Amino acid sequence: METIYERKINYYETDRMGVVHHSNYIRFLEEARCYWLEQIDMPFALLEENGITIPVLGVNCTYKYHVTFGDIILIKPYMKEYSGVRMTVGYEVTEKASGKTVIIAETKHCFTNKELKPINLKKYNKEFSDKFEGLLED
């Protein structure tokens, strides 16, 4: 299922040069990931109710094009890798008006219980695991 998160750039997210400060993209990815999880009926609230957290292990961004105040970006999150213990979410971020690629990014995550001890989702909650595994793109 393709999910697109649309976001308008706020003035306070820009730097002295008038472009979005690079650190804000990490927030945008988080917003898109939360939206994506809601769209696939796996919101954080449901995961947490079932004792599951998904901490971020790493972020990788390649900046391709700048955006400024008032621009609208489209963020397409997708499952790149899933093992039951870890997952990697990829992101394609484009500027809506021009279609130009703004960033290409990924976030790496692991699954833990409420005590932040690693778990294998395939054993811990097969139903949730099957849903994540079904998101892998061919």
Q: What is the CATH number of the domain that holds 87?
A: 3.10.129.10
For position 22, what pLDDT does the model report? 95
Is 63 inside any structural domain? yes
Other C-beta atoms lying within 10 Å of the C-beta of residue 103: 22
Domain holding 121, by residue range, is 5-133
* CA-to-CA separations, 11 to 38, 74, 87, 103, 118, in angstroms, rounded: 27, 18, 33, 19, 39
* Alpha-carbon span 41 to 12, nearest angstrom: 32
Q: How many CB atoms lie within 10 A of CB 38?
A: 14
Q: Alpha-carbon dihedral of residues 34, 35, 40, 46, nearest 10 degrees?
A: 40
Domain count, the chain: 1
Evaluate whether residue 138 is within a structural domain. no
What was the pLDDT predicted at 1?
Answer: 72
From first to last of the 138 residues of the chain, give the pLDDT tens digit.
789 999 999 999 999 999 999 999 999 999 999 999 999 999 999 999 999 999 999 999 999 999 999 999 999 999 999 999 999 999 999 999 999 999 999 999 999 999 999 999 999 999 999 999 999 864
Domain assignment of residue 10, yes or no? yes
Residue 35 in domain: yes
**pTM: predicted TM-score of the whole model, two decimal places:** 0.94
